[in-house]
A and B are shown apart, each in its own frame.
Chain A
Amino acid sequence: MRAGGSPGVSRRDVLRAALVGAGGIALGGSLAACATPSAAGAGRPAVMIWDLFSGGDGALMQEMVAAVAAENPDIRLDSTTLAWGSPYYTKLAMASSGGRPPEAAVMHMSRLAGYAPGGLLEPFDLDALAALGVRQEHFAPAVWEKAQYDGQLYALPLDTHPYILFNNPELVGQAGLTGADGKLDYDAISGTDGFLAAGRAVAEVTGETGVGWGYLRDPAGCWRMFWGLYTQNGGGYDLVPGRKAELDVDAAVEVFEFLQEMVDGTVAARNQDGGAASGRFMSGRAGMMFSGEWDLPMFRDALPEVGATPFPTIFDQPANYADSHAFVLPRQAHADPAAREATYRVLAGLLKQSMTWASAGHIPAYQPVVEQDAYQELTPQRDYARAAEIAVFDPDVWFSGGGSDFQNRMGDAMTDTLSGEAPPRTAVDRILREMDRLLSQPNPA
């Protein structure tokens, strides 16, 4: 590092100065261009949609967006996929509170309680929707009800998406778990012992593990698994802000006892995250796989015959964890009527593309699509459509919901127990402690 040792410096300096100069000119140009973003597409309203579909389903949302864009050539339609979970909702809130929010965004219905009261969203105009052929009677009453806040519609439901069990028909067949129709026998995987036995049987076929479940670095996945099983085991809850959380501790402990038994290295691998578990399942190193139905497109790419069932009834009562995606309208600082009108047209168009969305695995909320024969014939979708009937959603409290900090905290609280480093009771204690903490905080919205 002897200064001044190189004789070429001055020439290089000139070169670099020239480069910087050229960059500066180009820069001035680009800044000028950015100052007037609307000039470029004057006359054509721009509609941007944010989504959080970074699983395989995002590709299908892009397909739907492309179809709607083709139907509406007068709209500049674009969509962006942001990182799922807390970061997505944080960005959405920040944008709505005074950045450049997108015209529309996808949201979990379970998150509505954290957004609508704070004025981050705008309600839908029912007349405008009706004019586009989207009316209340097109949705299941329970779903429509969940989309309301303060007597107004704040979310346009897109789907119900349960957390289910995929299977590789060939491998479960070899393990003797299929019924007369050649599909995985739902009864053969029911009950704690039944499921574990089935897992071992499949593991024998694969030579590695029976069922893929990537619990590491996926707190939301852990929470879905737990909350579904806990409900199956008859567990109730009492979560009232300002009071202590109340859960059925025994029921919860039993759930963790089961999960620890499952993550034994044979039934399910001890040390894997979602990506690794998917990889195992797709490469035939696991014959079953717990995941959201949204992973269907990805799995079908690798396993064209992939099968699926609702979440197995491992405890007494059938229950299947699920959530709902919906479109919302982030608050615009300067509402543009033309853009708003275009947004309604786009969203109505997207709902009518629900058949494509169904091929992603989701159960469409827009009933006219579900009632079509074409949907009734989709496999394996029809094999798990029952899941919607036994759906159990996140607890009804302001901090819960898909991609929430709550789910992260819950999932984190159980990691040590799931990996076998702590007893089942530890997870339950930690869950209660986190719930207490959240319940003691003021609702900021």
Chain B
Amino acid sequence: MHRVLGDRRAIAILLGPALLVYSLIMLIPMVWSLGYSFTEGNSIDGFTGNGVANFTRLLDDPAVRDSLWFTLKYAVVVTVGQVVAGYLLALLYVFFLRRASALIRTLVFFPVVLPTVAVGLLFQKLFQVAPQTGPVNALLNAVGIDSVDFFGSAGSAFWVLVGMDIWRSMGFYAVLLFAGLVDIPDEVLESARLDGATGLRLVRHIVLPLSLPVLMSSLIFSVNGTLKVFDSIVALTNGGPGNGTTPLTLYMFQTSFTYSEYGYGSTIALLLTVVCLLVSLVVYRVSRRDLTEG
């Protein structure tokens, strides 16, 4: 076996096909897209080079600033929401429900397997104000508050979106973190209890540090997912009202495929790539330090 793996040609044959497919469907399109950043035009008109014009435009474009800000705001709020809700649920499973948690776990996990578009439509109907009053507004009316047009302003639409995405994915993070919590040895918890640590102190000093690695991986998962959010926003608000809930991904999509400015769209995609790269670097750096300490 060693002789096979030591043979350069054998390595080439073993890695070649995977590398080829990866290059064809990942690397080449990425480089290609980078090339488009220096052009203008579209698939109908053809492409012409325009130097760094797209990049200067990127810096001046207020819509880019708005959607970058929205992306970051959304990523932070939803990541915190997902992980905190997931962690609380996991604690609930492990310390309160214990063996009886299977049913609750299944119920909370259920939204994860629902198609995003279905969830989007569900929330549209839940929060709608017209033509029929949705359940949420009906509830507000019942306690004497006037109906709110949740999708009429960017502020309220943002919170509906956040609520939907947290509801949709907290079950996933709960299961992920549950696995981490189950791994904490019973003896450690037992001895901490004997030393008088209960409730919050037990969580703060024993459970949290011991589940930090899995918490960090959840965070990385979550940040990466929320920075690239697309489908849930398209399904719920389609970026509206106006461009009030338009993240970079949707703005890039619209620029390329609706306004047929492929070059500028690629430039926005590049910005998104850089943002993802920076965030990943930060998260990795932080997580590595914490892991060695923990």
Asked if A and B are interacting partners, one says no
- B interface with A by C-beta (< 8 Å): none
